[in-house]
Structure 1
């Protein structure tokens, strides 16, 4: 559990994700949060998205969005299908005509600004141990618990290593007990 910004963030469940999403009033923060969940991407890469990475002409969401190598920790470009629910969030967002999807004073919106806003929402909802990475951990855990194969999850998340991917997926005591009962 994450305590005083140390340790591993708790994973959000799909229900928690929906609750938090509904509580975020800032349009940019809401879309960043949704993009992190539906793409399983790090917030730092999402903050650096360009309008053209997500929208086509007339600001219509693309079928697949591009997360450029320059924004990612592993320096590899990803193409991620835009899920129906994410498409609705993108349609509702008033995107700038060009440049950064989330403009800020000196380029794009800062990680710090997003982090502070999200921490306020978590605090308001009484959610302790959650952080900006809770979307990534939660979406990957949700996919695993829903029966998606680990290689499918790896293809969506862009993890080069299964070992690194597995660190993001939560396993509960009841899940361990259930597989032990199979023996």
Structure 2
């Protein structure tokens, strides 16, 4: 069993400009590649877990999401960082259209994406870490049994959350924080 760093996408990996689905709108957070490289060297698997309600709302297609995700994955690979898994939720219980209007188990704050990743990637959730920019990220991690929950300030406005273990400025600060534990 491996330990993992679960990464939300918008607000953690890239700046959240709202429903980001095109390469031209994808702007990386400073230090993301270096931080992810350090986390890999510390023995963590890197797993992206992202809600994508823009798909459910009809703002962009799953194909557009996959194209952008493939481009992002290549960017990480070009920097020498392999992402071990990418999980996404295309649903929204209230705002979804058609087949995407689903009250699913994968949309954070529910833990479905983390649990699926743990199952398929043989992850020990009790040794893993969540890095997110919203309380929903923290709640999903808590529900999945992830003990270290890091809220970063690079995404949504931070609402003080007892669900977070710590609040850091960005993903760039995560390796040093974890090294100090």
Structure with the largest fraction of strand: 2
Give the structure, 1 or 2, with the largest relative contact order (CA under 8 Å, sep 6 or more). 1
Structure with the largest fraction of helix: 1
TM beyond 0.5:
no
TM-score, length-normalised on structure 2? 0.30
User: Which protein is bigger by CA-based radius of gyration?
Assistant: 1
TM-score, length-normalised on structure 1? 0.30
